[in-house]
Amino acid sequence: MICNALEYRTPPRMVYENDVIRYANATSVRRRIPRLIHQTYRTHDVPSIWNATVQSVMEKNIGEFKYRRWSHAEMDAFVKKHEPQFYWKTYITYPYDMQRIDSFRYVLMFHVGGIYVDMDNGCNRPFRDLLVTLESLEPDATDLAAFPRRESFGVESDFLISTAGHPLYRQLISRLHLFNHYYLLHFWTMQLSAGPIYVSIQERLFTSSEQAIVRLLDFSVFRPMFIWKENGFTWIGRDAHFLFYISAKSGIILWYCKIFIIIIVIFTLIKWRKQKQKITFNYIYTHTR
């Protein structure tokens, strides 16, 4: 059943170029997504390599959006305040900063909402056009979220859009502890514990409703219509470079990677189910003595 959920699904709701062309100039749409842009870095200083991308995000959206840059210290304080249980049990136990950065995004999107964009993403077109398109496509929905679609599997997590309180982000936060393991390599640990593969798995397992919508941005909508890319992946190590080289040489590696992901998900969910059954048993035993 879990394998089927990951491999097969009803066609996702998409955002195509024609949707943006049709709705970008709509004026009577009901706003639900906060006009906030979030970015993160170790400090409030912008690395020189990303000056152009960050500047383009700010200039293209000036007047329409509020802009917030979060330092690592501010991220830590925010998670501690809004998700204390997750903070003490999982967040501070992560061995890598990137895991904390990734998981902070989900806490931020759930409690505040808006747009999160990585610093290596430059802006080609005002984000207002994209938010208006999303809100026009779902005029009656309360909760809206969108992710860029990934070519190989799942979604990207370097560009997030959401209303505050979206149930998918509650699901993302609540299951992070289940995936907090070391997965043989630094790269896989980043990807599976809190990164884009983790998000892709949860997006696949999430059940949308008429009030809680998730849409995927078509490749051309994400880039180049709205985003241009500068050098990123500042966190990767030699293991990641090796994997990129191998995957570029042989498509079979990607197939094995999918199988590996499915095995990890099955293992994690079985573990979660056993923990839940144990808690239920202890509760029944305690109240029947």
Residue among 166, 153, 188, 189 at smallest CA distance from 116: 166
pLDDT per residue over 246-262, tens digit each? 444 445 555 566 666 66
Query: Is the residue at 288 inside a domain?
Result: no
User: Residue 53 domain-assigned?
Assistant: yes
Structurally, the chain folds into a number of domains equal to 1
Q: What is the mean pLDDT of residues 120-127?
A: 98
Name the helix (H) or strand (E) containing 228.
strand 227-229
pLDDT of residue 105: 99
Output the pTM of the full model.
Answer: 0.82
**Residues 264-280, mean pLDDT to the nearest whole number:** 67
Identify whether the C-beta of residue 104 lies closer than 8 Å to the C-beta of residue 79: yes
Angle at 173 (CA atoms; ends 168, 176), nearest 5 degrees = 120
Is residue 143 included in any domain, yes or no? yes
Check: CB of residue 141 under 8 Å from CB of residue 213: yes
pLDDT score recorded for residue 1: 47
Q: Is cis: bond before 224, omega within 30 of 0?
A: yes
Task: Give the pLDDT confidence score for residue 268 in this predicted structure.
Answer: 73
Distance CA 182, CA 21 (A): 44
pLDDT in tens, 29-77: 999 999 999 999 999 999 999 999 999 999 999 999 999 999 999 999 9
Please, which pLDDT band fits residue 242 given cuts at 50, 70 and 90? very low
Calpha distance 228→117 (Å, rounded): 12
Asked if residue 264 belongs to a domain, the reply is: no
Q: Is 278 inside a domain boundary? A: no
Instruction: Quote the domain boundaries for residue 100.
Output: 2-234
- Domain membership of residue 277 (yes or no) is no
Tell me, what CATH number does 105's domain have? Answer: 3.90.550
| Residue 257 included in any domain | no
Say if 267 falls within a structural domain: no
Average pLDDT of every residue of the chain:
87
Q: How far apart are CA 78 and CA 87, in angstroms?
A: 10
**Residue scoring higher pLDDT (286 or 29):** 29
